[in-house]
Structure 1
């Protein structure tokens, strides 16, 4: 995780207010999906999944999610989710006994880079994917667990 406060030379694709509505992740995905244009399908899927997890976290863990921004920064897509909580997100170890707690694990696996910055009203959590080299969903899934514990069983 890195900290990057200022993003020079960014092209805004989405800049909208968020609300504490349980449907906000789905609405944010639709709005962003329409704004992304033509990009590689795995990159689109990974980016929208990360965006959805970040928006869901803001809705779940803050009193008021504030803002969603999606930017194109050179060869990267960047999502920024602002909320009023000063609590930073945590990447948790997966457990079959927990219903929640995998969102930031997914973001960490799919993002080229991600981080958190404090703001005067709370924080912004951001994540980026490279447009030319996003990992496939299968590769990201394998990276989420220890690779030596994963075997390719092939088709039976």
Structure 2
């Protein structure tokens, strides 16, 4: 096998706008259990599930779109990607005591080792990366 190859495992699910974020968290939690993360990495699991909830909620609330959620584990990092139909790019903003919401990307930024957004022809994809054995990671 080519040493530059990456062996990965992944799962994907569409979550229509009327789907509660809990359904996304429950689905992701089952796949994290399959990776053996539930017992050994409980803090990382909590961070991943909160990020899943925030990214799916952003797709539903801000993009008024089905959230297409993909979890991919490459043996080093778990990549959580949510694609939606809006071309508007997210950015963290400082929390305010004057309004509800507005903390989703701020939380993702604080929890994930790295995150990025990529415009696509029909919307965007937001990916957050969690590397349980590292304190930070870079996207290539």
- TM-score tier by shorter-chain length is 0.7 to 0.9
For the aligned residues, what is the CA RMSD?
1.8
Of structures 1 and 2, the larger Rg is shown by 1
What is the aligned partner in structure 2 of residue 20 from structure 1?
17
2:72 matches 1:71: yes
CA gap 1:133/1:59 in 2 versus in 1, 3 angstroms: same
TM-score with structure 2 setting the length: 0.83
Q: Equivalences for 1:48-87 in 2 at 5 Å?
A: 48-87=49-88
TM-score with structure 1 setting the length: 0.75
Q: What 5-or-longer segments of structure 1 have no aligned partner?
A: 1-7, 136-156
CA contact (8 A) 1:13 1:36 kept: no
SS of corresponding position for 1:92: coil
Worse-matched range after superposition: 92-101 or 102-111: 92-101
Pairs aligned (count): 127
- The list of structure 1 runs, each at least 4 consecutive aligned residues, that deviate by more than 6 angstroms after superposition, is none
1:96-136 Cα distance to aligned partner (Å, 9 max, x none): 1121101110000011110101112110011011122469x
CA gap 1:114/1:41 in 2 versus in 1, 3 angstroms: same
